[in-house]
């Protein structure tokens, strides 16, 4: 459990992101600041076009901010050379997307081993770890199955196992339950939170789903490029 004595692991300071357009620059993030300790989680809400994916890309070190600073475990990843940045991302950040992006020709186990192949080979230890994690997400009997043989919820459980197999400090999820029916979405959302807590990782979820956002301990909304506290969820805010 994070205490106030624990230093923040993810620190985002005054992040601005502008995209160049033929006329004037489009300012999507206008100074976003927040910090999270290990074990903490945050839901980011906001209407379409408010900059949620842009912020998630910056947190995921896929896009540099125009200005401002981000540190994860006291390292500023945007100061790293490109190859070091790719390694940093692989070791520290796990991504869960709305689409599972599993490789259809590979088995469930092979899909979870993919993050080890990016910078080497999967060792026997890695294979044990992947199989154990697949057991933890309820798929022990499905290791040799292909994604097409699984339900939508099961495929998303595989995607979660793949995101967590290298024990990332930071888990980023973009509408992770967006393609699932209500009850499956709830069980997948709860599983993601349980795994985050067990690993004492940080979880940031971007979502339109209020039931999912309600499961997280902090909720903020992107409004005119800034992160502001949301109104009480489930009640009219006006
Ligand atoms: P959300 O995820 O909340 O829907 P996005 O972060 O995708 O919002 O987009 C925020 C704004 O930035 C939108 O107006 C979008 O058109 C614009 N945008 C996103 N990516 C680019 C880009 N690469 N170049 C120019 N504009 C972009």
The pLDDT of residue 5 is 65
**Which domains does the chain show, CATH number per domain?**
40-63+80-221 (3.40.50.300)
**Position in ligand 1 atom list of the atom nearest CA 19:** 25
Contacting residues for 36 by C-beta, under 8 A, at least 6 apart = 8, 9, 10, 42, 202, 204
Q: Is the CB of 207 under 6 A from ligand 1?
A: no
Q: Is the CB of 28 under 6 A from ligand 1?
A: yes
**Position in ligand 1 atom list of the atom nearest CA 21:** 25
Q: Is the CB of 189 under 6 A from ligand 1?
A: no
| Beta strands 93-96 and 170-174, pairing class | parallel
| Beta strands 10-19 and 26-36, pairing class | antiparallel
Of all residues in the chain, the percent with pLDDT exceeding 70 is 95
The DSSP element (H or E) to which 162 belongs, if any, is: helix 152-164
* Residue 6: pLDDT over 90: no
Summarised one tens digit per residue, pLDDT across range 49-93 is 999 999 999 999 999 999 999 999 999 999 999 999 999 999 999
The pLDDT of residue 232 is 55
Q: How confident is the model at residue 236 (pLDDT cuts 50, 70, 90)?
A: very low
Q: How confident is the model at residue 3 (pLDDT cuts 50, 70, 90)?
A: low
**Position in ligand 1 atom list of the atom nearest CA 206:** 2
Q: Is the CB of 225 under 6 A from ligand 1?
A: no
pLDDT, mean of residues 93-115: 95
**What's the alpha-carbon Rg for the chain, to the nearest Å?**
18
The pLDDT of residue 237 is 38
Summarised one tens digit per residue, pLDDT across range 143-187 is 999 999 999 999 999 999 999 999 999 999 999 999 999 999 999
């Amino acid at each position: 459990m994070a205490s106030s004595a624990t230093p923040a692991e993810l620190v985002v300071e005054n992040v601005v992101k502008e995209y160049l357009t033929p006329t004037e620059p489009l300012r999507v993030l206008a100074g976003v600041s927040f910090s999270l300790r290990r074990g903490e989680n945050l839901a980011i809400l906001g209407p379409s076009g408010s900059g949620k994916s842009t912020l998630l890309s910056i947190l995921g070190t896929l896009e540099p901010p125009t200005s401002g600073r981000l540190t994860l475990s006291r390292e500023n990843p945007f100061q790293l050379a490109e190859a070091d940045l790719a390694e940093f991302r692989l070791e520290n950040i796990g991504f869960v997307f709305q689409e599972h992006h599993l490789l259809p020709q590979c088995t469930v186990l092979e899909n979870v081993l993919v993050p080890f192949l990016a910078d080497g080979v999967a060792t026997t230890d890695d294979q044990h770890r992947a199989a154990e994690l697949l057991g933890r997400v309820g798929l022990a009997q499905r290791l040799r199955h292909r994604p097409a043989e699984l339900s939508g919820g099961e495929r998303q459980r595989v995607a979660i196992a793949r995101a967590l197999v290298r024990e990332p400090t930071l888990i980023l999820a973009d509408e992770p339950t967006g393609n699932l029916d209500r009850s499956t979405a709830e069980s997948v959302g709860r599983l993601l939170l349980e795994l985050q807590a067990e690993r004492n990782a940080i979880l940031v979820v971007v979502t339109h789903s209020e039931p999912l956002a309600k499961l997280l301990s902090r909720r903020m909304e992107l409004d005119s490029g800034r992160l502001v506290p949301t109104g009480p969820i489930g009640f009219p805010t006006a």
